[in-house]
Amino acid sequence: MDRCSRCGEEKDSVEGQYSYGVFAGWMCRECAINGYRDACGLLDGEQGDYRELEEMGETYWEDDY
């Protein structure tokens, strides 16, 4: 079991998670789903697209994609 960087609990579901193609951290499935707009792609199998981030006014580094 690993410790989730978001909730701090030790869980079997802790993995490296990505949101909008950017590394979000090592966290459990529940935190990844509840903590990110695109649920880190865990619900529908697809992460958000960086163009959605631009539409929301968020910035990103091109090197992240």
Show me where the domains of the chain are located: 2-59
pLDDT score for 7: 97
Q: Can you tell me the mean pLDDT for 10-32?
A: 95
pTM score, whole prediction: 0.77
- Partner residues linked to 41 by β-bridges: none
Structure tokens at 65: 């994609």
pLDDT-above-90 percentage for the chain? 58
Is residue 65 over pLDDT 50?
no
pLDDT score for 31: 98
Question: Who's near 46: CB < 8 A, 6+ residues apart?
Answer: 38
| C-alpha closest to that of 53 among 26, 27, 25, 21 | 21
- Partner residues linked to 16 by β-bridges: 26
60: amino acid identity, one letter:
Y
